[in-house]
Amino acid sequence: NKNEKAKKETNAHFEEVRVEEKAFTSIDRGTSLVPLDRIVGSVGRYHDFDAKFSPKSHRSDERLKTLMTALSQGRPIPPITLYQIKDSYYILDGHHRYTAAKNLGHDHIRACILELLPSKDTLENKLYIEKIGFRDRFSLGNVPELTEPGQYQHLSEQIKEHNEYLSKQSAERISHVQAAADWYKTIYLPLRKLIENSGLIQSFDNRTV
């Protein structure tokens, strides 16, 4: 049965990725909005849903209609629960809520996120771990994409120096988070724009701005 095979593959995908990435250490990321198109699989509920997360039983279908009515009327619903492995998310709880939001044309859904950190020894994973470490340390929403390990330390040093500069200019103590936000706005973004406009990136294959 092709549909049953697809459902099993959707569920198995999570475990395959988890094992392949050696993603067993978890971090509670709290609650935030997640793009629906980044939710790519399910954890353990493939018997109740088809490959597109639509409910299988009539009872589930009734529950889905109730949730869609609540959402369309602007009534709050509990966040769903997701596992995250790098840039992909997998539903642990809340399949009906996800499907209701998708059927109504929503782009995002509120979710409680448990991130599983990849530990497989690859360049991609090293860069990812360094990136989220940098992001978490400085509470930056948008983080520069770097292509070589060890380079986020240079950005950290820039922020440290910028913090010292701002502290000298202000009578108040400047936190590293405040310094990072100011560095991003007044130093990083203008320089990024300058490099983008110069076309310099065309001379460097496989590199980001």
Tell me the whole-structure pTM to 2 decimals.
0.80
Find tokens 């939001």 and name the residue. 101
Long-range contacts, stretch 150-155, CB < 8 angstroms, 24+ apart: none
- Residue 174's alpha-carbon distances to 3, 110, 137, 166, in angstroms, are 57, 32, 15, 7
Strand order in 88-93's β-sheet? Answer: 25-35, 108-117, 80-85, 88-93, 39-42
Beta strands in the chain (DSSP E): 25-35, 39-42, 80-85, 88-93, 108-117
pLDDT in tens, the chain (209 residues): 544 444 444 455 888 899 999 999 999 999 999 999 999 888 876 555 665 666 565 566 788 899 999 999 999 999 999 999 999 999 999 999 999 999 999 999 999 999 999 999 999 999 999 999 999 999 998 999 999 999 999 999 999 999 999 999 888 889 999 999 999 999 999 999 999 999 999 999 989 99
What's the pLDDT at 6? 46
Best CA proximity match to 112, nearest among 125, 98, 99? 98
Q: What pLDDT, on a 0 to 100 scale, did the predictor assign at position 71?
A: 93
Helix, strand, coil shares of the chain, percent, nearest 5, are 50, 20, 30
